[in-house]
Amino acid sequence: MPETTPAPNGIVLVDKPGGITSHDVVARARRALNTRKIGHAGTLDPMATGLLILGVGPATRLLTYIVGLDKTYEATIRLGISTDSDDADGTVTARADAAALAAVTADGITAGIAALTGDIEQVPSTVSAIKVGGKRAYDLARAGEEVALKARSVTIGRFELTATRTGPDGIDLDVVVDCSSGTYIRALARDLGAGLGVGGHLTALRRTRIGPFDVAAAATEIAPDATLLAPAVVAADVLGAFPVTADEARDLRHGKRLAGAAARLETPTPAAIDPDGVLVGIVERRGSDVKSSMNMAEGAS
């Protein structure tokens, strides 16, 4: 009887090119890896490039633990022009006059960036995937409906200006941003421009990091023999490792608690990894015991 090739299982780091959607990347990966079970952790707009993390096979269950990680972006903000989407894909809604742009100073930009750094309240861009009454905000906006999104708390750990260029269309600022999940870099561009009285939007965006994963390790094309990061390695990098014996692995897979094992936990929800280096699942404390909160299917290495 011929041997069957095991179904792919793991995490793939992709460097998404501009001009395609995150769904397009997933579709390409499904064709290349010959499997339907692929998802991604965190959408990138078509205009944006950079790191997109795909889960393949059983490892798609890890995406929920990856999507909330902090991120790093490189971006270009154009001061002087506002758009309805807060980025270059939108329709221009306002242009600052030359006098207003001339009044923008380096100190003013520095102060504006400082005001948007740290723990802030941010209203997401109207053209976003956030649901309002069960419908995507961008669908409502494109249908001409008024969209009022609520402010959300986000953390901007770094908002660093790396270059400034003045041109006929406005002032371009190259920036690097470290931020919590759920931050809209487009909204930072909008709010910085608004604070300076000239408007602003995003003209370029590249995601370079998600948690411990860097775009430098990502592939630009997904081939049938693409390298998949092992679920155990990824889970340990994201959540920390909780080594278990073969007997403990069996008990966790059968839904049993590990009595008195909570003292061994080094992180709140680590990855239980058996002696063969296989991910058993994600565990958590229950009093003095350890219990599985998510089990990987047996046989999924």
Q: How many other CB atoms sit within 10 Å of the CB of residue 166?
A: 13
Please tell me the predicted confidence (pLDDT) of residue 171: 97
* 8 Å CB contact between 122 and 146: no
* 8 Å CB contact between 217 and 262: no
Give alpha helix (H) positions in the chain.
22-33, 63-66, 98-102, 106-115, 137-142, 185-195, 231-239, 246-253
Q: What is the distance between the alpha carbons of residues 168 and 190, in angstroms, rounded to a whole number? A: 19
Please tell me the predicted confidence (pLDDT) of residue 43: 87
Please tell me the predicted confidence (pLDDT) of residue 1: 44
Which residues of the chain are under the pLDDT cut of 50?
1-2, 140
Please tell me the predicted confidence (pLDDT) of residue 15: 97
Active-site residue (options: 15, 24, 45, 119): 45
Q: What is the distance between the alpha carbons of residues 60 and 269, in angstroms, rounded to a whole number? A: 17
What's the pTM?
0.90
Please tell me the predicted confidence (pLDDT) of residue 7: 81
Q: What is the DSSP letter of 129?
A: S
Please tell me the predicted confidence (pLDDT) of residue 70: 97
Maximum alpha-carbon separation in the chain: 79
Q: How many other CB atoms sit within 10 Å of the CB of residue 43?
A: 15
Is 45 among the catalytic positions?
yes
Please tell me the predicted confidence (pLDDT) of residue 3: 53
**CATH numbers and ranges of domains, the chain:** 10-69+212-229 (3.30.2350.10), 71-205 (3.30.2350.10), 232-295 (2.30.130.10)
Q: Determine the distance from the C-alpha atom of residue 64 to the mean position of all C-alpha atoms in its chain, rounded to a whole number.
A: 11
Please tell me the predicted confidence (pLDDT) of residue 125: 84
